[in-house]
Amino acid sequence: DAKTTQPPSMDCAEGRAANLPCNHSTISGNEYVYWYRQIHSQGPQYIIHGLKNNETNEMASLIITEDRKSSTLILPHATLRDTAVYYCIVRANHITQGGSEKLVFGKGTKLTVNP
């Protein structure tokens, strides 16, 4: 799986948009970009994923650059409960990966939402 690079920490004011960047310059054509978050030692929580098109769900939006070498997770109106470590993960389809389904978590970005 391609390696990802994220800033170690970010701050955001409550109610403002939080934009979390991720670099994945070695991503290959069959690899998806996933985002998970972990709130204070709870189990990681899936947020969103995408291949090349921008994606939006009830939690967030995912913007992937045209060359797919980077992406941005957007939390449109951050709340105090969004304070967490956010992980950007690049992973191929499990069939091509041989079925391990393993998620490789890096160090992530510690997002702190301030009142």
Partner 1 sequence: EAQVTQNPRYLITVTGKKLTVTCSQNMNHEYMSWYRQDPGLGLRQIYYSMNVEVTDKGDVPEGYKVSRKEKRNFPLILESPSPNQTSLYFCASSPMNRDRNTEAFFGQGTRLTVV
The verdict on 7 binding partner 1 (CB under 8 A) reads no
Choice between 17 and 103, CB closer to partner 1: 103
Choice between 45 and 79, CB closer to partner 1: 45
The verdict on 95 binding partner 1 (CB under 8 A) reads yes
Q: What is the CA radius of gyration of the chain?
A: 14
> CB-based burial of residue 41 (10 Å sphere; 0-12 exposed, 13-18 middle, 19+ buried)?
exposed
Q: Which positions from 15 through 74 interact with partner 1, judged by CB under 8 A?
A: 32, 34, 41-46, 49
Contacts of 37 (CB under 8 A, 6+ apart): 44, 45, 47, 82, 84, 85, 86, 87
Write down the least CB distance from residue 76 to partner 1, Å. 20
Q: Residues interacting with partner 1, by CB under 8 A?
A: 32, 34, 41-46, 49, 91, 93-95, 99-103, 105-107
